[in-house]
Structure 1
């Protein structure tokens, strides 16, 4: 299976965009209006969300309509191939192919873009044509930002030769759960909203005459612009004079996933024409093949808005129709839109921020919004779902199944955030991983997407999510059922170098690609597995796994104080450049990182690790060296290594805990300074306001947690290290009617340093706090200042626990 590393080797290596214009300046330059507001959103939390955050640069987000954790992500597609089309949309493109119903949020590989619809008038055009900017040209810069599209070979083609349309960017508006745009080539206003499992379109035709709705069931993401998406088992069936149902299997990143749909029009179509391989099937009411399309014709399209509702299912067309009829029984667009807004208000309102500047509010709530888009619902209203074995299963009453777990990324901050702000959803999210492990022929989930294991990225960090949930006391999760599958992976499977890891204590770089990163991540998975072993009473296994979690020591070179590639004979491999990707051109020694970043990939055993460096002072000096190093990267560095501060790379997840490591060496004031710098410098509510790929909420979750002053360096430990809270006042619903209030007095620009902390009115000298305390509710108060209080968190007893104990 393709890994993200392999995918990126074939993509253009693009530098991180340096500019981060403010929301107003960016949108003024683009000619785009501010997000729509009305009585439903005025005064609410959704008014602070800029859904276009991350749609430029390399954020890979989409701006369309979805509900929190919804199955449907109804959004415009501007392109369907290439790295920066991973979500189907990029604000640097100038035309829209149509509106499809599934999208990935911020991933480094693309897929989805299912069931594309496009309204039009005139002749039926079956090919999308090629993309361009609104003036018909392509620019090397757009909105003052380098346009990665200009690197693609077809960048001089103009839109208008197919069914895609240029669009009026001033008309492009969106808010959570709603999107609108005017398709200028056809003069059609398109509006989108959604429920959990269905999408609702409203098309207003400005011109008189007949119109049609094109459905392109062959449309989908593909890596190679010269090769269309691979589709099999596609089918279409016309039902009566207002309904079309169908489905397909898609062989892309998630190879062989199923998707079915049911589509209804608000008024009868005069004719339904089906196409196979772009040839009309005159009079046919159903079709099967690999390359199917349909045109649904309506008379006098401009006489009234045309509404289209589409339900999805991974089970069958009956499930799609049942989802549709249950969730959108009528045709009241505004009612569905307002229900979507209410859903977002409810979920965003679980964190209520007060007394924050407008730019901070926008950045915070745009980030919180993105943390709630995945994982995505993957079960029907009747409880059926398609499992990892491709069989159809039935859930118990009241349970839900989910998909889209970017676990290599999200175990670090997004899942810890959800344990605080979505506690009632955690059992379904985590027990779903248990079901996947049991049902899948591939074992524990790594990066599961719509019933398929993509195998993307390294480690098997579903173990971390399970261990964290258990450590935090979450019930209704079958840990015992999970254990045999996870134990087999840890103890027996010859999986991606694990046999070397068990035999040698490390992965040799002359035998296994990305061996250094894999060794370090397997060590952390061992730490999580040790916790799961204790949870099910496997105490001997727990002892073995705890000891094995210290295997990182075998790759630490005390002379250079770097993690280094080692051969199967035990020798350090040459040449070694801490900024380089590997010791040879054959493969890389690191996963989307280099030795500088990998050297700090220790989340669970910090005090033993600090001793390897020679003590606190040496460790702090090495951390300082990371942030102060020359930020230059070699030419073969993957584009994911981005958001550089020295050799610290905030745009990629292995660095996300690193600024918090100073706390373990008694230099917590340096954590405070670094975290505040990253909060203020790496995020903005703007299209290029995310330093790297959003990665299904992880980039944004780092901001949300850090703005609250908290971060889970080791999620399995069930505690949070303090950083530098950005917010003056936030109230967090932590479940069961309990509220956690976080305050920071004396805060503001240039005042990142903690002077003191109080918990429920009593002095708190520790630089960390446990999840159990926060989950009970209470008041956490920081006093901030312009100069560091170097006594705070310095005493060994006040430092965060690691490997089960505080500093010696």
Structure 2
């Protein structure tokens, strides 16, 4: 590994400045291997910006053991790939990027030679199945391109994509026994009965269509496919693995195992046989559709009509080039690699969820057509409302507006009449807490990014926030907090609801709907109802109005919080820092509390509470790997020691983000971790989405230009930058010295420039 890292970091030792040059290719700085080791949970394969296909290798999968026992690797393999693994099982077409839950991994393909093996084999004996060993020295990972040599078969595997089509290119050795295995039962998280049904039909000797129905994180999900080979196969077959199925019945009159034109079952693996010459390339186009097999065929026809692999690769990389150039920075090679890989990670999710003709399957499982917008899915909103969507409101405003339209379509199709909480593939999985789509909508409207009916959007926000049957909202409305008896995350949900209510209030105020504003601005103060002045912490509160007696503010288990402890969540009121400071005893005590968060030594016992808790992403008791802490370093800006924000930001950046395989200090969570890096590197951050204000920090780049959608530019100049010069001496915005620690959204979107003057001592 040391040898590989030295290759990855060639030229970085001297930290030579890599200034952006006119026309410079920025794709060269994208390294998808960053974050594939340990807890980053990103994948190294090919995708285009916001693409529906994510074509990537699986080094292993997770699920239940044969006896039904839970497999702890379900967390390890959220993206299907772990850098430390030494074998590849195959290449599948759908992945989540950076999540803390395993799913997807649809339609796994693996090329092999020799005796046909339809079982994957094991990591310690890859030759026992179609699995193969590989070396990182023979691996290339770029934006929209992945390449690796499969050691067992001596096959070179390459892949690239369009939005809805995965394009494979396999270079075979000479063999009369060359195979392409299509595993229709594979998945990143395979528990019993996840596969509801699979179907495959052979159209001719080079085209196959079918679908897969699964019951996973999306409980009713059908994904259709069309698969086309550049060379006809001379025979094909399959094997069923579900012992509950029988081969007989009426269909038993046929020999279905070999060369039968259609196959159906719960657990299927199929294969296609070829004879190859030395160095012969077999290419595969694999299109997917949420609507139909015909939709998949049309997606293939529209997006990749020919067989020019390099053209598809180059076209996709040009799409990335366009996106990456929306922010052009100056800095060292390491800084550029961190920054543009972060940009890449922010533009993977949400993903397009509709066919080329605009049709998609909605939450009601009916087929709809997106009229006048692109429909998106994969909304990890508990994570992404904080910085990812605010980033889009600057560099992707039109796309973000379409995402809001997708959320409103979700609301219209929802039997619960709620906006999305965590949605994917025309399903709602209700993961995490809060109703944070309201913050995304409010942020878009407040910042003027509206090409939708804002009043209708507000009505949807209000309906969601008043859904009494959902996750303690009824008790929250009646009591002003969620009682401990009603929810295991009663405190954090109360705090998150209060923030969302504040966002609704801002939206109502913008639209001059004062009755709603008054109602929700009052609700936004409910976070105070779970603050225990005696202990100095947010604390579980019982239905009778008393605080729970047994309580450990450092524990993450059964203390009323989700992905955090009380010490962290006591600082969660990003909508109201000034009042929070007063609530906690004033400036001096608040600063001391903040300081202790970063400097305390969290005892080892708290890392043994569950299998998932490690010291990754943690500094003291500050948990950067979990999103509720992402605004915390900026809270010093509301105290008499704002320089500590600058100091903390410049300490966090190099510790949590590095241009190495383990370079992400926690799950990237569909781009939120990376969005934090981008904002903080540029010198400002959206502490409270739904406000038009950004809190300033300490820029880590040497300079930057944000190329805005309308053609304007916002330039960030940094004078006297250096590793020790982390303190801002003054800021000048458009020629005038700033007398506050905040800039507005209009300051950015109107164009102009801000100059940070840096020094080694705080002011």
Q: Which of 726, 740, 746 is 1:766 aligned to?
A: 740
Match in the other structure for 2:53: 72
Counterpart in the other structure of 1:786 = 760
Gaps of 5+ in 1: 1-19, 30-40, 133-157, 790-808
Q: Which of the residues 569, 591, 598 maps onto 1:620? A: 591
Aligned to 1:126: 118
Structure 1 match to 2:336: 361
Pair 1:292 & 2:268 matched:
yes
CA contact (8 A) 2:559 2:565 kept: no
Greater mean deviation of Cα atoms: 448-457 or 569-578 = 569-578
State how far apart, in whole Å, the 1-side matches of 2:556 and 2:311 are.
53
Q: Are 2:487 and 1:512 equivalent residues in the alignment?
A: yes
Q: Deviations 1:357-390 (Å, cap 9, x if unpaired)?
A: 1111111111111111100010111010111111
1:54 aligned to which of 13, 35, 38? 35
Which of 406, 420, 427 matches 2:401? 427
Inter-partner Cα distance in structure 2 for 1:389 and 1:479: 23
**Is the aligned partner of 1:655 residue 2:636?**
no
Shift of 1:301: 5.2
TM-score by length of 1: 0.87
Aligned residue pairs total 725
Deviation for aligned residue 1:76: 0.4
TM-superposed deviation, 1:164? 0.9
Moved more, 634-643 or 718-727: 634-643
Distance 1:700 1:666, change over 3 A: same
Q: Is the 8 A contact 1:21 1:686 kept in 2?
A: no
> How far is 1:403 from its partner?
0.7
SS of the residue 2:57 aligns to = strand
Alignment of 1:282-681 (within 5 A): 282-300=258-276, 302=278, 304-354=280-330, 356-397=331-372, 399-442=373-416, 443-535=418-510, 537-581=512-556, 587-632=558-603, 634=606, 635-636=608-609, 638-639=612-613, 642-681=616-655
CA contact (8 A) 1:663 1:767 kept: yes
Q: Which residue of 2 aligns with 1:152?
A: none
Contact 1:238/1:272 (<8 A) preserved? no
How far does residue 482 in structure 1 lie from its aligned partner after superposition?
Answer: 3.2
Equivalent residue runs for 1:201-350 within 5 Å: 201-222=168-189, 227-228=191-192, 230-277=194-241, 281-300=257-276, 302=278, 304-350=280-326
Q: Secondary structure at the match of 1:210?
A: strand
Structure 2 residue runs of 5 or longer lacking an equivalent are 11-21, 63-73, 248-255
Taking the aligned partners of 2:720 and 2:2, their CA distance within structure 1 comes to 28
Pair 1:710-2:677 in alignment: no
RMSD of aligned Cα (Å): 2.0
Q: Aligned equivalents of 1:642 and 1:600: distance in 2? A: 21
> What is the alpha-carbon distance in structure 2 between the residues aligned to residue 495 and residue 396 of structure 1?
31
Could you tell me how far 1:510 is from its partner in structure 2? 2.5
CA contact (8 A) 1:640 1:652 kept: no
Does the CA-based 8 Å contact 2:239-2:257 persist in structure 1?
A: yes
- Match of 2:65? none
Q: What's the CA shift for 1:83?
A: 0.8
Cα distance in structure 2, aligned partners of 1:610 and 1:768: 18
Q: Aligned-pair distance for 1:334?
A: 0.7
Local SS of the residue matching 1:65 = coil
Partner of 2:252 in structure 1? Answer: none
1: CA distance, partners of 2:473 / 2:467: 8
Q: TM-score, normalised by structure 2?
A: 0.92
Q: Given the alignment, which residue of 141, 151, 156 partners 1:174? A: 141
- 1:675-727 per-residue CA deviation (whole Å, 9 max, x = no partner) reads 11001211101111111111000011110110000100001112110011001
Partner of 1:98: 90
- Larger deviation: 294-303 or 338-347? 294-303
Confirm or deny: 8 A CA contact 1:640 1:651 kept in the other structure.
no
Which stretch of structure 1 is more off in the superposition, 693-702 or 492-501? 492-501
The answer as to whether partners of 2:235 and 2:259 remain within 8 angstroms in 1 is no
SS in 2 for 1:444: coil
Change (3 A) 1:246 1:535: farther
Quick one: distance in 2 between partners of 1:269 and 1:232?
28
- Give per-residue Cα distances to partners, 1:82-136, cap 9 Å, x unaligned: 211111111111111111011110100011101111111122222111224xxxx
